[in-house]
Structure 1
Amino acid sequence: GFVWFDVIIKGRAAHGSRPEFGIDAIAKAGHFLVAVEQWGQWMDRRARHNLLGTGTVHASTIRGGEEASSYPAQCHITIERRTVPGETGDSVERELVKILEHLASTVQDFSYRLRRGLERYPFEADPEAPIVRVVREQAAGVLGHSPAVRGEPFWTDCSLLHQAGIPCLMFGVDGGGAHAAKEWATISSIERLTEILTVTILDFCR
């Protein structure tokens, strides 16, 4: 899953020749960006999900300042926090607020505003769900071995189906280049998947 946040670091506009009147929002934002990197390192040391590892965080966009000759009044940073099962937007926001409040208490003139944006929940298939069991059984029959069970780091609309109470799982072809200029799948895996889905439908819908 993921959740987006806008962090607006506040400064005070002033002419570049009058530093006594200005607060450089971009320079203050540098403290926050260092803290974001440390946040990611801290997550790496936490307990890991058995398939997905830990959540991650990165600074996605940054903008600030009006011109070279003035102190910037604000610096706007968007961050994306990738989540794993067990994490929520609320729990992530608490982590972020703790970081920002620490900076506000330790960095002179550090001030901020926080906005929470889009959130999508992480998804984990129930291994005991009937549809999961049938797919695994039918896939083993077609492939001659049990299919690999793994986690994927990206979000899909499986999460929305799961939230609506519809049991689901991710299962697909061999390939690569998702959303890239060259996105591809092997013909043989498409043929195998077609057979697996066909026998799964016949079995599950009996």
Structure 2
Amino acid sequence: MAIDRVRSFVDEREVVTLTQRLVQIPSVYRPGEADGNEQRVARFVEDELRQMGLTVYYEEVVPGRPNVIAFYDSGRPGKTLLFEGHTDVVTEGDTRKWSYDPFGAAISGGRIYGRGSCDTKGNLAAAICAVKAIQRSEEPFYGKILLCIPCDEEGEMLGIRHFIQRGWANGVDGAIICEPEENQICITQKGAIRAYLRTFGKMAHGAMPLTGINPNTRMARAIVALDELERKEKERLGEHPMLGWPSITPTILQAPVRGEAQINVVPDQCMTTLDIRTVPGQDHEVLKGQIEEILAVLSREDDNFKAELEIIVERPWTQTSQEEPVVRAVADSYRAITGKEPIYNGVPGSTDGTYLHLAGVPIITTGAGDRHIPHHADEYVDIDQLVETTQLYARSALAFLSE
């Protein structure tokens, strides 16, 4: 096919250099610090895209935290394909745990090392360089390529939510979420419910606990009951072939919630955070109702049991058919580039794609990088795989926009 030639216009040195330059601009969100946000890297990307001749928009979501949006328009009416890759990265943590400068973008053994090299500045560079390859190839296509480069994917996903609220997702026919998935084609991802669970008691002397009400023992009962609910959901649903098991995980456990903890004082309140991950077949409203019913049952069994569930954030699971044009375009391109059958998989966490899915955009997630490497010390991306990703993005765009 004519579009196969676009891979020859992918420049390995260009992909590597752009990845390095992105990694070398720290973009860990640190409130109050001049460089503690995504602004510097967003300005760099904005300049890069303008030099390519794209139509570029720079939108501040909150102070110091911008989205960059760019269009490459064929000049012919047709569909719109979105590439999405975020600018923020997680903390580097203790730099003594690193063998390389977290923001040095060192190359060693065919890999680029640094925070964000895998998640997801390498894949952001691949998307930009894929557009460059399409430009150089002069291969005709229909419609538009839209680059969405948002802030805050690692936090509350403010960037992609702002992008959608501003109407940029309207009319998008398919989206490729640029995340590290070893170039596997991820067509489903877990949902998430994050919540505070609080139990309330009455302070008392540890030597005379019956003069108070212990919220810790009440919390223990709730956690045991939630563990049983998780067991029943696993038994009901089985292990999802791409996403694994659903889970209900207490993470933080704190008592007292305020004030100093003392070994001889019964606290007045206990709090745990719940990180709930859902899979297809689970209804979030039903699940939240089951948790509320657990608390109601415990309250009926114990007049002193008082609890409160507060949902912090909620994102549903997503699932995209293999017959969706965007999935077929990526799968066909993977075959053409590698000579192998694509591996279909799922994202164990959630991505900005969740919100695009809610906005009615068919999504797939794929990109370079070992999915287990993000957020680790000595994060890296393999250069060979990153080049393959750039070729995959470029050919997929042409395949999707070929008619």
Could you tell me which residue of structure 2 aligns to residue 193 of structure 1?
389
Could you tell me which residue of structure 2 aligns to residue 160 of structure 1?
355
Q: Which 4+ stretches in 1 moved above 6 angstroms?
A: none
CA deviation after TM superposition for structure 1 residue 174, in Å: 4.2
Could you tell me which residue of structure 1 aligns to residue 306 of structure 2?
111
CA deviation after TM superposition for structure 1 residue 56, in Å: 0.6
The count of corresponding residues between Structure 1 and Structure 2 is 206
Could you tell me which residue of structure 1 aligns to residue 243 of structure 2?
52
1:74-89 to structure 2, matched below 5 A, reads: 74-89=269-284
Q: Secondary structure at the match of 1:99?
A: helix
Is the Cα contact below 8 Å between 1:8 and 1:74 reproduced in 2?
yes
Q: Which letter does structure 1 place at the counterpart of 2:249?
A: H
Could you tell me which residue of structure 2 aligns to residue 31 of structure 1?
221
CA RMSD in angstroms, aligned pairs only: 1.9
Q: Does 1:63 align with 2:257?
A: no
Structure 2: 5+ residue stretches without partners: 1-190
Q: Which letter does structure 1 place at the counterpart of 2:275?
A: E
Is the Cα contact below 8 Å between 2:253 and 2:272 reproduced in 1?
yes
Compare 52-61 and 134-143 and name the one that shifted more.
Answer: 52-61
Could you tell me which residue of structure 2 aligns to residue 183 of structure 1?
379
- 2:245, 2:286 → 1: CA distance? 14
- 1:178, 1:160 → 2: CA distance? 21
Is the Cα contact below 8 Å between 1:46 and 1:54 reproduced in 2?
no
- 1:134, 1:20 → 2: CA distance? 67
Percent identity over paired residues? 26
Is the Cα contact below 8 Å between 2:199 and 2:219 reproduced in 1?
yes
CA deviation after TM superposition for structure 1 residue 108, in Å: 5.8
- 1:167, 1:81 → 2: CA distance? 24
- 2:322, 2:288 → 1: CA distance? 30
CA deviation after TM superposition for structure 1 residue 87, in Å: 2.7
Compare 11-20 and 122-131 and name the one that shifted more.
Answer: 11-20
CA deviation after TM superposition for structure 1 residue 183, in Å: 2.1
Q: Which letter does structure 2 place at the counterpart of 1:15?
A: H
CA deviation after TM superposition for structure 1 residue 69, in Å: 2.7
- 1:122, 1:25 → 2: CA distance? 33
Is the Cα contact below 8 Å between 2:237 and 2:281 reproduced in 1?
no
- 2:202, 2:378 → 1: CA distance? 47
Compare 86-95 and 23-32 and name the one that shifted more.
Answer: 86-95
Compare 45-54 and 179-188 and name the one that shifted more.
Answer: 45-54
Is the Cα contact below 8 Å between 2:230 and 2:247 reproduced in 1?
yes
Could you tell me which residue of structure 2 aligns to residue 101 of structure 1?
296
Q: Secondary structure at the match of 1:193?
A: helix
Task: Give the TM-score, by structure 2 length.
Answer: 0.48
Q: Secondary structure at the match of 1:45?
A: helix
Could you tell me which residue of structure 1 aligns to residue 286 of structure 2?
91
Q: Secondary structure at the match of 1:61?
A: strand
Q: Does 1:4 align with 2:194?
A: yes
Compare 103-112 and 87-96 and name the one that shifted more.
Answer: 103-112
Task: Give the TM-score, by structure 1 length.
Answer: 0.90
